[in-house]
Amino acid sequence: MKKEEFTDWAMTYFRNRDLVQRRIVSIEKTSGECDILIKHNDKEIKVLVMPEIESFDALNAKLDKDKHTTLVTLNSKNNFDIIVNNWKYFVELPNFYIVFSNPDSSTETKWIINPHVHSRIADEKSLKIGLKSMFDSVERI
C-alpha cells in the first residue's frame, strides 16, 4: 500500500474514532516531523504513517518522549518484529501508541497498543504470546 493511500486511511480512521467524543479540534496532513497532526483542546498528537518500518533507528529518529505520538503501520511480520524486538524501549514512552493495520483485511482491520500501559497489565512471560495473538487477529500484509 502506498504511503499517501495509507495516510488517507489513517485520517479517516481517526475522524471516525472521534465521532462520538468529538474531541478533535483539527486534523491535517503535514509535511514535517509527522504525517498527520491531530489537535485537541488539551494536546496535540503527532501521527507517523510508516507502511513499512525501515529500521528501529529510522522510527526512533522520529519519536519524542515528551509528545503524544501514534505510529500507524501495516500489520506485517517485519513491522511486528521491530516493535517486539525493541519492546523495552517503547515501554518507556507513556504517550506512544501503535496502530497495526491491514485496511484490506476481511476480518479485523487493525489492532492498537500502548506498550507502556500493556507492560503494566501483561505478564512479561506471556508478552510475546499475547502480542502475537493480537497480531494474528488481523490478516498479515
Rounded to whole angstroms, how far apart are CA atoms 68 and 64? 8
Strands 96-101, 44-50: pairing kind:
unpaired
Q: What is the pLDDT along the chain (141 residues), one digit of tens a residue?
A: 899 999 999 999 999 999 999 999 999 999 888 999 999 999 999 999 999 999 999 999 999 888 999 999 999 999 999 999 999 999 999 999 999 999 999 999 999 999 999 988 888 888 889 999 999 999 999
Q: Per residue, what are the HEC states of 96-117?
A: EEEEEECCCCCCECEEEECHHH
Q: What is the C-alpha R_g of the chain? A: 15
- For the record, the C-alpha cell of 115 comes out as 506498550
For 3-136, CATH gives: 3.40.1350
**Do 36 and 30 meet the contact criterion of CB atoms below 8 Å apart?**
yes
